[in-house]
Amino acid sequence: MAENTFKPAYDAIDAQLINYLHDGFPICESPYRQVATQLGLTENDVLTRLQTLLDSGIISRFGPLYHAERMGGALTLAALKVPQEHFEQVTEIVNAFSQVAHNYARNHELNMWFVLATETQQELEQTLIDIESQTGLPVYNMPKLNEYFVGLKLEA
């Protein structure tokens, strides 16, 4: 039997930091220092560990989540049915729009899904038109009808 040589890319302190930050980030003059104090670390340790987690891809982002609609903006989920032979080209076109927040390939008839976030509803509608025009494909707009808070938290 082969020996398991898998080593986690983060240690127990990193896991503790991730789990702590999942519950929220303090809003105060020195938030990283406050996190450090709560976890028995130095402020520099917290900053260095967060940067290492980001650089290694263990976490993909660290930052606030904004409710675009509450700030006067607009948000939607959209999809495209992209012929496989044009998928890379269409991906480049869609991703060139600064309003595209996320873009995912899916194993589905509608095989490209993306989120648009804009400053206004009018900009959102124009961006959908522009994507349709530049890709030559119909865009399926699926705006949010209701929002539910699931509160999913997975322990690191």
3-class secondary structure for 45-89?
Answer: HHHHHHHHHHHHCCCCCCCCCCCHHHHCCEEEEEEECCCHHHHHH
Higher-scoring residue by pLDDT: 128, 24: 128
98 in the same domain as 52: no
Is 52 inside any structural domain? yes
Domain of residue 105 covers 68-142
Between 131 and 146, name the one with better pLDDT: 131
Q: What is the pTM of this model?
A: 0.62
Note whether residue 61 is domain-resident: no
How sure is the predictor about 2, in pLDDT bands with cuts at 50, 70 and 90? Answer: low
* Average pLDDT, rounded, for the chain: 89
Q: How far apart are CA 72 and CA 126, in angstroms?
A: 16
For the chain, the helix, strand and coil percentages under 3-state DSSP, each to the nearest 5: 40, 15, 45
Q: What CA–CA distance (Å, rounded) separates 149 from 43?
A: 31
Residue 76 sits in the same domain as residue 138: yes
What CATH number has the domain bearing residue 20? 1.10.10
Distance between CA atoms of residues 18 and 49, nearest Å: 10
Is residue 147 situated within a structural domain?
no
> Domain check: are 79 and 25 in the same one?
no
31: left (phi over 0), alpha (psi -120 to 50) or beta: alpha
Other residues' Cβ atoms within 10 Å of the Cβ of residue 52: 14
In a domain, 4, yes or no: no
- Distance, in Å, from the CA atom of 90 to the CA atom of 80, rounded to the nearest integer, reads 9
Does residue 129 share a domain with residue 79?
yes
Do 89 and 127 belong together in one domain?
Answer: yes
Please report the pLDDT score of residue 4 as a whole number. Answer: 53
Domain check: are 74 and 120 in the same one?
Answer: yes
Q: Are residues 42 and 94 in the same domain?
A: no
The fraction of the chain above a pLDDT of 90, given in percent, is: 67
